[in-house]
A and B are shown apart, each in its own frame.
Chain A
Amino acid sequence: MSKITRRKFMQASGSVAAAGAATTLGLWPMRAFSQETVKLGLLHSLTGTIAIAEASLVEAEKLAIDEINAAGGVMGRQITPVVEDGASDNPVFAEKAKKLLERDQVAAIIGCYTSASRKAVLPVLNRAKGLLYYPTYYEGQEQDKYVIYPSQEATQSVVAAIEWMAKEKGKTFFLVGSDYIYPRTCNKIAKPTIARLGGKVLGEEYAPLGHTEFSSIINKIKAAKPDCIYSTVVGGSNVAFYKQLKAAGLDGTKQVLLSTVVSENEIEGIGKDNAVGYYACMGYFQSIKNPVNEKFVKAFKAKYGQDKVIGDPMQVAYNSVYLWKLAVEKAKSFDPEKVIAASSGLEFDAAEGKIRVHATNHHVWKKVRVGRARADGQFDIVWESPNLIEPNPFPKL
């Protein structure tokens, strides 16, 4: 291990300080609205805990940018991505958003993954009048003037998932989730839905975030013998949960389990053989059959490697860039206020099928699907909502 001497340290910090001084002295980066280019901020965790889920979103966004640039750009301008690392730290997200909007003068930001990081960015957006596209499914309960939410909010996926399970798999449920806002909100929506369908909740359990010991919860599930488990366990805990379910003799052939947070990306970590047979409810699955998706998957794999898998948030991240482009072209302006106004009712033919931005609430009308995990880590789509589902971020609970 090389020793860092005091002198080396001083030199290093000196040059950092010099660089900082140079920028404050007026050597500003190029303005965003130059004649040839327009800047788009990509703000995600490339390091830290959430990077596991979030880093791949940047890849999808860059793919969309490349495609748009190759096709002539937005209103004749090439998009320059400015990538910033939120480092899985919410204050860092706020700081980087501020930097992107004020120093880099980006036309819009596509970014954040956790609700906490989005909430941290909201005040910055409102102060700087900047626009954010938030590409992750989330619990709803929010509608900000400067945010477009192109993924499914909780009512869109939870209600559809519960209805499908109650109809196809049985009416007794066990709700299990991680102990934080997304699972608790989803279960708040799930419970009245189950009651409305004449079903019964046999148990509701929350494990601390990052928990890896599910044996007690699994015992309770076994004692309750539910027809269906509705799972909102998030992140690395899923690996432990699925592995321990399997070890306890419950697997996809014997037990119905549906999750609204396990996409193809999570399956990679969980292990294909541990997840096989379990269900997920998402807006998008990589195995969706339509020409747009085939083209999307092919382009993605050509750019990032054949063994890459594409999960729901990645596809929405890709859509976000296009939704921004379409809104800009409709507004004939990069001004966030005009872009937001132009977004209402905007339609995009995405890989997941047609999506439409809601006229008033900044979320999107979209289809959701239920998929069953296969041995190769992909999903067989077993159900698809017949129509676009209206977003309802503030349901009556």
Chain B
Amino acid sequence: MQVFNGISLFTILLLMALGLAIVFGQMGVINMAHGELMALGAYVTYFTSRFFASHLPGWMDIYLFVAIPLAFGVTFLGGYLLERGFIRWFYNRPLDTLLATWGLSLILQQAYRTFFGAQEVNVPLASWLSGAWNVTENIQLPLNRIFIIGLTAVVAVGVYLLLYKTRWGLAVRSVTQNRAMSEAVGINTARVDAVTFALGSGLAGIAGCAFTMIGSTNPGTGQMYIVDSFIVVVFGGVQSLVGTALSGFTIAQSQTTLEYLMSGSMARVTILLLVIVVLYYRPSGLFSSKVRA
């Protein structure tokens, strides 16, 4: 049961951190507004569910399958515009990016508050996702969590294929490793940057969509997850997506185990201490790839 909780938390962390890791690791952009892109995905899901509820009530059960691509699409587009209009002016200035995107996150939060209201909105859960799978008398696995686990698996495999099996993925990796050389061989690095950022944003959108199933949707939603995502990414080593996955797994399992053994706040403190100790000995993260700097 606790193991299942750990896996479930792991997939959630991974979903949050993947987009961040792509943007952070491949482009060196510390995107503090990542959480707000998640919130955007959550709001897209909310509006999709509202649309289905009022126009297609019979199809309410499958609105999620419309909401997921839609959340991805909208945040992808939002991310693209952000990169073109904002982020690209801050490349190679990590601290400035941090401040700029933090400001951006505040602006976005306030915009959500203005347009969508400060109140929390309720995203209904499709009927086939509520309830639990009773494995035995005492072990019940909530269906929405199983769904999120499946969704994360699909997303993770998709990202892997995209980055390692396509020409575009090759271009991304080459730009990461040597920007000047990539430009020299004719790769449009500006475009690669924009699409990479947009992809990272789109993943945040999917994460936001998934969160509506377990958490709350309000203008501050993103804030609740951003710290966790950063911990996962930094702990795992920023350059490595596999590292992100492994660190997500480590953190999630320790977190749920510790939470069961001690109080929630103490579990969090312990995790943070653990991360600090590891980063002290391995400054570039637990699973950083060996590269020549």
Number of interface residues of B (CB under 8 A): 50
- Whether A1 contacts B85 by the Cβ 8 Å rule is yes
Whether A208 contacts B214 in the complex (CB less than 8 A), given A52-B119, A219-B5, comes out as: no
- Whether A216 contacts B260 by the Cβ 8 Å rule is yes
Chain A interface secondary structure, helix, strand, loop or mixed?
helix
Residues of chain A with a CB closer than 8 A to B118's CB = 46-47, 51-52, 55
| Minimum CB distance partner of A51 in chain B | B118
Residues of chain A with a CB closer than 8 A to B214's CB = 212, 240, 243-244, 247
Q: Which one of B81, B120, B145, B216 lies within 8 Å of A212 (CB-CB)?
A: B216
| Minimum CB distance partner of A235 in chain B | B216
Which one of A121-129, A138-146, A265-273, A291-299 is at the interface? A265-273
Which one of B23-31, B59-67, B136-144, B276-284 is at the interface? B136-144
Taking the nearest CB of chain B, how far is it from the CB of A311, in angstroms? 11
Instruction: Tell me the bound Cα distance from A315 to B98 in angstroms.
Output: 43
* A18 within 8 Å of B (CB atoms): no
Taking the nearest CB of chain A, how far is it from the CB of B5, in angstroms? 4
* A206 within 8 Å of B (CB atoms): yes
Residues of chain A with a CB closer than 8 A to B12's CB = 213
- Whether B130 contacts A269 by the Cβ 8 Å rule is no
Which one of B121-129, B170-178, B198-206, B238-246 is at the interface? B121-129
| Minimum CB distance partner of A267 in chain B | B122
Whether A269 contacts B122 in the complex (CB less than 8 A), given A49-B220, A248-B132, comes out as: yes
Whether A269 contacts B256 in the complex (CB less than 8 A), given A216-B2, A247-B131, A247-B144, comes out as: no
* A202 within 8 Å of B (CB atoms): no
- Whether A246 contacts B130 by the Cβ 8 Å rule is yes
Taking the nearest CB of chain A, how far is it from the CB of B134, in angstroms? 8
Q: Which one of B119, B124, B256, B259 lies within 8 Å of A268 (CB-CB)?
A: B119
- Whether B260 contacts A239 by the Cβ 8 Å rule is no
- Chain B 75-101: CB-based contact to A (< 8 A → 1; otherwise 0): 000000100011000000000000000
- Chain B 204-228: CB-based contact to A (< 8 A → 1; otherwise 0): 0000000101111111110111000
Residues in B lying within 8 Å of A, measured CB to CB:
1-2, 5, 8-9, 12, 81, 85-86, 110, 113, 118-125, 130-132, 134, 138, 140, 142-145, 211, 213-221, 223-225, 255-256, 259-260, 263-265, 268
